Structure 1
Amino acid sequence: MEGTSLCVPIVILLMQCSPSLPVTVSSNKQKVEVHEFSDAVLSCMFRTERDQNPRIEWKKKGKDVSFVYFDGHFRGPFEGRASIEGATVTLRRVTQEDAGEYRCEISAPFDSVNLGETNITLRVLVPPNTPACEIPSSAVTGSAVQLRCRDQQSIPPATYAWYKDNQLMIPPRHANATYLINTHTGVLEFKAVAKEDTGRYNCRASNGVGKPMMCEGRRMTIEDVNITTVVVAAVVVCLVVLVCGCGGFLMHRNGFFTREFVSSFWISECHGASHISSQNLNRTEDTSNVNYIPPPQEPQDFKHTQSFML
């Protein structure tokens, strides 16, 4: 009995002296990836020291921190499409607007450490859409040509593959290849196209989420350059430039472009124009004199022209 009576105080003393754990918060999955329009589970588990009814809050980080769950209710865009069990939240039919970093906060005022939190990152995966392709309809042999393919909405970013006449074009691994393919940017580049590059091209985008998507194919025709026509045109242009240059040089050498020549030219032109105007004026006056007929004279007053003998 004495041994038993001695053990009880010792046990009580040990219980009082043993350290108690403060509030702790954790998650079994810090990074969550789900497909668009599916449900996302954000786990949050906690343990408190004394407080049996701690306060649970969820927040979403961004430019500003916004409430997801506060005071027992979901807030903003999560209202009506989210549920909570314990401290674990389920978001239904998530979209890209839901992607981001979330924080689960547990507040236990009666604990020695009264606040604990854990962060969870939500990534919403988006399958590829039909990529936008830029394929020229024609090109000239020997010219550099780029074909472009891009899907800006897929998450993670898509990688690209090119097809010619429904045959996969393998990205070359040697420096002397006639074309290059960048699988990350979607650019198919020809250093110098040839007749053999004529064909129907299309591009496929894939990112491991959903099925790959392809753009509509388009035919690119490579046309030869008419060397004879180009040479003849160049020769004709050179001859025209040469003749004009020689003619201008000779006219300048003979004084056609001097200031005295220009002044005398304009003086002579003005003098000739004045002379012609004077002749036209005289001719007009002569013509008017020839055609002029004086009006018949009225008989003068009788008493002035005749006298009477009385």
Structure 2
Amino acid sequence: MTDTPPHARLTAALSEDMAAVGDLIRDRMASENAPRIPEVTAHLVEAGGKRVRPLMTVACARMCGYEGTDHIKLAATVEFIHTATLLHDDVVDESRQRRGRPTANLLWDNQSSVLVGDYLFARSFQLMVETGSLRVLDILSGAAATIAEGEVLQLTAARNLATTEETYLKVVRGKTAALFEAAAQVGGVVAGVPDAQEQALARFGDALGVSFQIMDDWLDYGGAGDGIGKNLGDDFREGKLTLPVIRALARSDDAERAFWRDALERGKSEDLDRARTILDRHGTLEETRVEALAWRDRARAALAELPASDLREMLGDLADYVVARAL
């Protein structure tokens, strides 16, 4: 890879398309009757995010030879779904920081965040329908439902020390990987690729999303607070059973389990340093990083089933990038 991050190279290679996506997002987030909607939406949309998910849709469509304009609508759809879920997640998690800035629910209120999120979901469905493709509608609406399922599953699993790796993976595939998968897959669908290539794109997006989320969970304990878009230890304080914790729990002695019970089940999560010490003792942070790399390899293997091109190479580099730093 060059010194320029792959998402930046993709954005430069697809600059006209991504500019059109930005214009469409700004146009469709407008509201004549409720000015708070564009205010709240712009707080997130214009916050300097890398727009990796819509970038994937545009890149996959162009990689597959698409020459029309519906991929612009689909990319905007993906970004609206993503932004809506962020607005809702911050309310559920009572978050105070997102992408290094105060969250919308902190600046405005929970009601505004929830209702603006609902508005963006509605806008996303309008954009889906405009493509005239029932297949696209099926994939993206299915992803929206799966994301909600993943979030509810995470909510019910929080502070439950009996949470298994199987449940954890279901949460990850739901709340994060589902949109990565759909973002890549619809790019192939709009381009009219054969079913085998469409499924390869779906596997690429799924594996990339899982890798991304596992690495994000590693960063919550092992990364630096700057640059990950949230406070270090957020998952710990919220009682989330992520992969490094699940594996450490399976190996913990009675004293360590008592600590996890107090910290996660009872919400007494003041001692992040001790949690990190236990994770290091059992080697689960390093195992988590290795697991993220394994999913990265699956993403690259799926991508290899598609015709070689510069865009394919950059998407492969993107898979490497997600395990090198947070997006």
TM range (shorter): under 0.3
Structure with the largest fraction of helix: 2
TM-score under structure 2 normalisation? 0.18
Q: Give the structure, 1 or 2, with the largest relative contact order (CA under 8 Å, sep 6 or more).
A: 2
Structure with the largest fraction of strand: 1
